[in-house]
Amino acid sequence: MEKVDVLSGVQPTGQAHIGNYLGAFKTWVELQESRRCFYCIVDLHALTTAPEPAALRQACFEMAKVFLAIGLDPQRSALFVQSQVAEHSELAWILQCLTPMGELSRMTQFKDKSHSQPQNVNVGLFTYPVLQAADILVYRAEGVPVGEDQVQHLELAREIARRFNRTYREVFPEPQPVLSKTPRILGLDGATKMSKSKGNHIPLLAPPEEIEALLRTAVTDPQRQRRSDPGRPWVCNVFSLHQYFSPPEEVAVVDLECRTAARGCVDCKLHLARNMAQQLAPIRERAAALERDPEHVRAVLADGAARARAVAASTMEQVRDAVGLG
Ligand code: TRP
Ligand code: SF4
């Protein structure tokens, strides 16, 4: 039976940001060097937040462009949109019938989202993690790169796999987390995880002027009130970002000059903005080229979906047989 090594997914948010890039995408690109990887844009999951139809379709295209621009290689990895592989939804239903309500009501993301969209606490929000489990299990994937906020969902996917195997027969391997080396990237508020929905993000494709304008608003060491106060780089998110975008020698200088009040926060941010814009320039250029070649992006997604369907269909034959369907 066919299987893949690595599966991961990202929601089509319309604007990938540097938190996605540092926290997830960089690992995805590394993994494709040695493993057979499938990466999907989870548009069915996005429906739980009731996006406008045209915006959802556009956001999928934008995310696909980003996949290619950051260096995911469609020759090696299957890049596709979740809804184009109907087996995800089919398996999700079967897995839902194996999952107790109680397990889903413990999911912290469900509780958070019910709070953040009280006017739309739909059933999809509740069963979201089962669809996520189906995304992984339909490819019998062994490794799943996830951030710490998704560890609970992956643990549930493991439990669902075990329960399926116990109830019917051994079909699914238990997927293992592939933890990213990068700790969670904080947003411009310096307090919560960077995310588009919180509006504290720096878009991955932002032009240099926008990067600079956004970084000017970044929260730094709150105890540093005057330019003459020494700063504490270890509590400052601007300093954390320097560690990803500035060369080590420059980071050492930032560290020293901050502690000794030899540099001000405005200069420090402009310095970071320059390095960030420079590091991200090749990605932005590739994305701009793809913008002029939408047919190529569509062809990559069509090919990815075809490859994904082949694996998913073979898993579903086993699943239907094991469960007694057909
Ligand atoms: N829920 C994940 C997130 O919000 C996205 C996702 C959907 C996913 N399906 C997945 C991640 C399967 C890993 C594997 O980040
Ligand atoms: Fe942060 Fe830089 Fe200001 Fe120090 S000088 S507090 S590292 S922004």
All domains in the chain, ordered by first residue: 6-186+294-323 (3.40.50.620), 208-287 (1.10.240.10)
Strands ordered across the beta sheet of 78-81: 78-81, 37-41, 6-10, 143-146, 176-179
Phi, psi of 6 (to 5 degrees): -135, 135
Residue nearest to atom 9 of ligand 1 (CA): 132
* Among 108, 165, 158, 149, residue whose Cα is nearest residue 130: 158
Whether 133 is in the pocket of ligand 1, judged by its Cβ within 6 Å, is no
Whether 45 is in the pocket of ligand 1, judged by its Cβ within 6 Å, is yes
pLDDT at 44: 98
Q: Cβ neighbours of residue 187 under 8 Å, at least 6 residues apart?
A: 19, 193, 194, 195, 198, 200, 201
Ligand nearest to the CA of 251: 2
pLDDT at 266: 96
Task: Verify whether residue 113 is a known catalytic residue.
Answer: yes
Task: Verify whether residue 198 is a known catalytic residue.
Answer: no
pLDDT at 2: 81
Whether 4 is in the pocket of ligand 2, judged by its Cβ within 6 Å, is no
Choose one of 186, 225, 244, 258 to mutate for the ligand 2 pocket test, by most ligand atoms within 8 angstroms of C-beta.
Answer: 258
Ligand 2 atom nearest 224 alpha carbon: 6
pLDDT at 313: 98
pLDDT at 147: 87
Residue 38 Cα to ligand 2 middle (Å): 39
pLDDT at 165: 98
Please list the rounded mean pLDDT of every run of 10 residues in the chain (326 residues): 92 95 95 96 97 98 98 98 98 98 96 94 97 98 93 97 98 94 91 93 98 98 93 97 98 97 97 98 98 98 98 98 97
pLDDT at 148: 87
Ligand nearest to the CA of 42: 1
What is the C-alpha separation between 240 and 236, in angstroms, rounded?
7
Task: Verify whether residue 193 is a known catalytic residue.
Answer: yes
Whether 13 is in the pocket of ligand 1, judged by its Cβ within 6 Å, is no
Burial of 128 (0-12, 13-18, 19+ CB in 10 A): buried
Of 181, 193, 198, 269, the active-site residue reads 193
Ligand 1 atom nearest 45 alpha carbon: 7
Ligand 2 atom nearest 242 alpha carbon: 7
Which parts of the chain are beta strand (E)? 6-10, 37-41, 78-81, 143-146, 176-179
Whether 43 is in the pocket of ligand 1, judged by its Cβ within 6 Å, is no
